[in-house]
């Protein structure tokens, strides 16, 4: 790890001021940032620890949405009665991230800012039509995920919270990598008043994506059999040592059916 300055602001304004330095980076739970810095793939000149900023925490129901602060840990989402009552699929997703030690430190904001193509939360955010709220604007999930580890965030822009609209039904099913528990393939299916949304993580060469053909079929008939005969082309899917693109394409179909069945 290269040397850095350390800041621990106690207000959002203080954090933003500390982040004005172009080479400064926010530190959430460190579950991605610290390993990256150890490997010298990142070398911020300063780290701005967010854990002391009260504006970034908390889980609350707000009308037809659940609003979750950026610094909320995976364990807190997994154990939240508010989330379990409104969007049980989201609580289950958080409870399946990594392992208990990772869930005890990793955060919603850190996961979405990082936009790892194998991460779970991007699937939920895109399928549920979440809004990513930052210190300066509101970004629809559609516009937020812009590529592999790429997001619409500007330098120094902080995610403050995320608003997840409550669906009628939803489920997330992932095929976890046996080593890391990251998604080899993960499919999030949400049935909303405006139709069904299907988001796939773990697979796309440019990160999380929606599957129009599945959505159309499921909007007409929300049952696993509606997906019979439909498939996702292997073009544009990742091939790596864990799974090739054809296998991922196959898993997307299988897991989508399982997710529909699980959503009930």
Ligand X SMILES: Cc1cc2nc3c(=O)[nH]c(=O)nc-3n(C[C@H](O)[C@H](O)[C@H](O)COP(=O)(O)OP(=O)(O)OC[C@H]3O[C@@H](n4cnc5c(N)ncnc54)[C@H](O)[C@@H]3O)c2cc1C
State how far the Cα of 61 lies from the Cα of 148, in Å rounded to an integer.
31
Residues binding ligand X (CB under 6 A): 25-33, 50, 70, 97-98, 102, 105-107, 109-111, 113-114, 119-121, 153, 158-159, 180-182
Q: Are strands 65-69 and 150-151 parallel, antiparallel or unpaired?
A: unpaired
Interaction between residue 5 and other proteins (CB under 8 A): yes
State how far the Cα of 30 lies from the Cα of 37, in Å rounded to an integer.
10
Residues 195-254 within binding reach of other proteins (CB under 8 A): none
State the binding partner of 5 from other proteins, ligand X, none, CB within 5 to 8 A by kind.
Answer: other proteins
Residues 135-194 within binding reach of other proteins (CB under 8 A): 179-181
Q: 130, 141 in Cβ contact below 8 A?
A: yes
State how far the Cα of 107 lies from the Cα of 64, in Å rounded to an integer.
23
Helix, strand, or coil (residue 83): helix
State the binding partner of 111 from other proteins, ligand X, none, CB within 5 to 8 A by kind.
Answer: ligand X
Which strands, in side-by-side order, build the sheet including 65-69?
Answer: 59-62, 65-69, 159-165, 131-134, 138-140
Q: Which is nearer to other proteins, 30 or 88 (CB)?
A: 30
Q: Which is nearer to other proteins, 4 or 247 (CB)?
A: 4
Could you give the string, one character per residue 38-67, with x where binding to other proteins holds by CB under 8 A and - elsewhere?
A: x--------x-x-x----------------
Q: Quick one: which segment of 58-66, 101-109, 151-159, 247-255 binds other proteins (CB under 8 A)?
A: 101-109
Q: What angle do CA 102, 190, 119 make, to 5 degrees?
A: 25
State how far the Cα of 76 lies from the Cα of 53, in Å rounded to an integer.
17
Q: 204, 215 in Cβ contact below 8 A?
A: no
Contacting residues toward other proteins, per CB under 8 A: 1, 3-6, 8, 27, 30-31, 34-35, 38, 47, 49, 51, 75, 98-102, 104-105, 179-181
């Amino acid at each position: 790890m290269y040397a850095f300055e350390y800041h621990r602001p106690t207000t959002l304004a203080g954090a933003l001021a500390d982040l004005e330095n172009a080479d400064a980076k926010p530190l959430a739970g460190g579950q991605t940032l610290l390993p990256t810095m150890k490997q010298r793939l990142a070398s911020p000149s300063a780290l701005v620890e967010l854990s002391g900023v009260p504006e970034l925490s908390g889980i609350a129901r707000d009308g037809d949405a659940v609003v979750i602060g950026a610094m909320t840990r995976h364990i807190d989402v997994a154990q939240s009665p508010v989330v379990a009552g409104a969007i049980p699929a989201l609580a289950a997703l958080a409870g399946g991230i990594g392992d208990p030690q990772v869930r005890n430190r990793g955060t919603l904001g850190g996961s979405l800012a990082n936009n790892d193509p194998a991460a779970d939360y991007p699937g939920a955010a895109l399928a549920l039509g979440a809004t990513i709220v930052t210190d300066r604007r509101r970004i629809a999930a559609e516009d937020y995920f812009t590529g592999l580890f790429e997001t619409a965030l500007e330098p120094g822009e902080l995610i403050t919270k995320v608003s997840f609209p409550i669906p009628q039904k939803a489920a997330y099913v992932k095929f976890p990598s046996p080593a890391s528990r990251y998604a080899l393939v993960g499919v999030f299916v949400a049935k909303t008043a405006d139709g069904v949304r299907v988001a796939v993580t773990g697979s796309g060469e440019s990160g999380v994506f929606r599957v129009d053909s599945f959505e159309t079929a499921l909007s007409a008939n929300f049952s696993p059999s509606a997906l019979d005969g439909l498939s996702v082309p292997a073009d544009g899917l990742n091939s790596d040592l864990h799974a090739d693109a054809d296998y991922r394409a196959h898993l997307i179909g299988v897991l989508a059916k399982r997710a529909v069945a699980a959503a009930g």
